[in-house]
Amino acid sequence: MAGICPVQAVPEKNRLMSPLEEKLGHEFADKELLKRALTHSSAGPASYERLEFLGDRILSFVIADMLFTAFKNEEEGALAKRHSTLVKQGALEKVACALCVSDHMHYANQKPTKSMMADVVEALIAALYLDGGFAVAEKFIRSHWEELIRVADLPPEDAKSALQEWAQARGLPLPVYKVLERSGPDHDPIFVIEAKVSDYPSQQAQSKSKQAAQKLAARSLIDYLRTTHG
């Protein structure tokens, strides 16, 4: 996620704006609000966590509105799948990368993780809303998510649902997910999950949560089954 981001020259008329504010498209009247949106709890009590909560809700609403307008003929289920993908960590990571968020964060004891940087993007959305109003936050979201919406011709597929439908269509028992291994400390665990359908070869995957590992294993298995068994 973290990379080398060239610092662009700041126009004379915007000489008080920081490089990050340039990318956000807003000069903050409350600089402390911007700082808080970039501060992890390891660096002090005034962290981005409360802002993250608010930003998540603002993002969800704007994305729902964008999808409702962009895909006029899609049913609620398809829109919900698109929405779920666009507000998840993967999409937030892409925006965090574009903003070079890790270069601006305040933290201690550890380097920013992908999850932390995704959280900061949500906090920044809330900060934009509180400092500049809804229109400012909405403009930021639309500018960074418009391309993510445009490139998805079809609604994203939920791997676990697809695997279940594949099994049911063939009169097979429902997929079974088994925890093969759990390692790491309680605050940062790693789960290894096996996905299996009937007597077909199983597939494994690992992630920091059971649910994420199940989805990855299901994706691997459904891809294998479709390739080898149609």
Catalytic residue among 52, 122, 131, 138: 122
For the chain, state the CA radius of gyration.
21
Catalytic residue among 21, 56, 74, 103: 56
21 noted as active-site residue: no
147 noted as active-site residue: no
Question: Are the C-beta atoms of 126 and 186 separated by less than 8 Å?
Answer: no
Mention every residue, 6+ apart, whose C-beta is less than 8 A from residue 18: none
Please classify residue 11 by burial: count the beta carbons closer than 10 Å to its beta carbon, then call 0-12 exposed, 13-18 middle and 19+ buried: exposed
Q: What is the CA 31 to chain-centroid distance, rounded? A: 26
**Tally of CB atoms within 10 A around 146:** 12
Q: Which residues are catalytic?
A: 56, 122
